[in-house]
Amino acid sequence: MKNFSLPSFPMAFFALLLWLLSAVLAHAQEADPSSPSQLEQHVGFPVLGAFEDTLFSVYSRLGSLTAEERARRITERIQKISRNGKYIADSLKVEELEKAYDILYGHDIIGTVSPGDIRDEQYDIHSLALAVREVINQDILRYQKETSMEALLKRIALALSTILAAVLIIFLIQKATKRLIKWIYSKGNGLFKDLNYKGYTFLSWEKERSLVLRAIKVLRWVFILILLYLLLPVLFSIFPFSEDWSDDILNWVLHPIRSVFESTLDYLPNLFRILVILIFMKYLIQLVRFIFREIELERLQVAGFHPDWAMPTYNIARFLLLAFTLVLIFPYLPGSDSPIFKGVSVFIGVIFSLGSSSAITNMIAGLVITYMRPFKIGDRIKIADVQGDVIEKTLLVTRIKTTKNEVITIPNSSVLTGNTTNYSLQAEGQGLILYTSITLGYDIPWRKIHQTLIEAALATEFVEKEPKPFVLQTSLDDFYVSYQLNVYTQQASRQAHIYSLLHQNIQDSCQKNGIEIMSPHYRANRDGSASTIPGVEGD
């Protein structure tokens, strides 16, 4: 056996590979129905008549001409003969030619009918050629008839009549509109009534009349525009050369309406899903609100859960349920999977995150304050240097009304980071202790001073008798003793008034008991001058 040399073996292998590849491609071309020869056998190319409508189709190649080229040439010849005003039907003939039939007009060949064009078993090649000849003849005769001077004059007359009818309808619309407006003005306010709700007028009868009149005018122009729009396709449909324009104009409106209608029908299942989710979530939120409302009214008690937590917790639960509802219905919203919808969602999210950092801080602080329970609405509190009654508490801010009727708004983040003094928290139970200090000399017995101050406290309105007021001696200074009077009250919001009454009663009680309230420095420089104790009123 002869051995293969090293260079000859790769060449033989490469040749074998090329042969296999060519065989595969040839087989694929024979089996592939999309190849040009297969397409010509299965796909027909239309032959158009004088009015650009399809007369018949050509399916097979003939000589060097493909089916598409044959269809185009036949179309051009038919349209050329149709536009010649001297058409004679008897000159259109069928002539046999070697298993095929030529269709002639005079001595000119319009086209050839071959066996490959037969697609219906009831036709043989001769009957098919006669049928094609008749179709071409009828199309040319119809074109000649419809483009004759008599037909053109009739169409012009019909078009003018249509225009006159449209003008008459527009005139009637204008006249009817004017009469309707005049009738509405003549009735005055008899046709319209003020739209009221609990004393507030949402819409007066003059505005109602104005809106109705404006709507009538808008509807008038809508009807006129619709009429003009419909007039164009009617006019175009009268003349053969513009019939296609009529269809195009109608499709400008009908196609979008059809698309919207079909899209609406396709969207109905998703719409039902959204409605079911919304209805379910609505009643779920109502159930959650009912439960927390019962807790707030203390009809339902939960261990460790305070009643004043109920509505804030309900608001949080409601927000979470609404967010969950949005997540559930989002995939069913129209256009939710489109890039534009997603881009807008991302843009809104970025804007929200950039612009709401401080708001979110205050919201979190508001939630923490709610569950810390440092104060409630109506409490007398002090935050930093602001003292007053709490009149509003939201997730973002706390509003305080001072004793001077000033309403001060404090962000919840400032409330959370600062110190809060609550005067009302223990006032209704143990009582809030109010205290004031007075300095008196060593020459006055302290027991007498204690008795005088307690007597003044007991005479003060809003001061509790029990627990009893008490006095503390807070310091023994060089020239005087500091006495601190402490009283109990349950009226934390009346501190200013109580302090004023208490100081008045201290003055009266000291005067009654012969105690002179004065500065030690003033006492040292008096040099025997009269006492500063005022006389009894009426002396």
Q: Which residue has the tokens 């969602």?
A: 345
List beta partners, residue 381: 388, 422
At 35 the pLDDT is 39
With beta carbons less than 8 A apart as the criterion, state whether 93 and 107 touch.
Answer: no
3-class secondary-structure state, position 86 = coil
- Show the CA angle centred on residue 526, arms to residues 525 and 530, nearest 5°: 170
Query: How far is residue 297's CA from residue 289's CA, in Å, rounded to a whole number?
Result: 12
- Show the CA angle centred on residue 460, arms to residues 456 and 465, nearest 5°: 90
- 432-524: same fold as 359-422? no
User: Exposed, middle or buried, 212 (CB in 10 Å: 0-12/13-18/19+)?
Assistant: middle
The CATH architecture one would assign to domain 432-524 is 2-Layer Sandwich (3.30)
At 250 the pLDDT is 77
For domain 359-422, is the CATH number 3.40.50.720?
no
Query: How far is residue 413's CA from residue 7's CA, in Å, rounded to a whole number?
Result: 88
Nearest Cα to Cα of residue 308 among 319, 322, 292, 321:
292
Query: How far is residue 434's CA from residue 469's CA, in Å, rounded to a whole number?
Result: 10
Angle between helices 243-296 and 310-329 (to 10 degrees): 160
Per residue of the chain (539 residues), give pLDDT as tens: 334 333 444 444 444 444 444 444 444 444 444 333 333 445 688 988 887 788 888 888 888 888 889 888 988 888 888 877 678 888 888 888 777 888 888 888 888 888 887 776 677 888 888 888 898 888 888 887 777 777 778 888 888 998 999 999 999 999 999 999 888 888 776 777 877 877 777 778 888 888 889 999 999 999 999 888 888 888 888 776 677 777 777 788 778 888 888 888 888 889 999 999 999 999 999 999 999 999 888 888 888 888 888 888 898 899 899 999 988 998 888 776 777 766 766 767 766 666 567 777 888 888 888 888 888 888 999 998 899 999 998 888 999 999 899 999 999 988 988 889 999 988 888 899 999 999 998 989 999 999 999 999 999 999 999 999 999 999 999 889 999 999 999 998 899 999 999 999 999 999 999 898 875 555 555 555 555 566 545 44
Query: How far is residue 375's CA from residue 460's CA, in Å, rounded to a whole number?
Result: 28
At 497 the pLDDT is 92
Amino acid at 204: S
Q: Which residue has the tokens 């300095």?
A: 439
Whole-model pTM? 0.48
Query: How far is residue 350's CA from residue 357's CA, in Å, rounded to a whole number?
Result: 11
At 25 the pLDDT is 46
Q: Would you kindly state where each structural domain of the chain is located, as residue ranges?
A: 7-34, 43-146, 151-238, 359-422, 432-524
Q: 327 vs 18, 269, 322, 324, 330, CA distance in Å?
A: 60, 18, 9, 5, 5
At 530 the pLDDT is 55
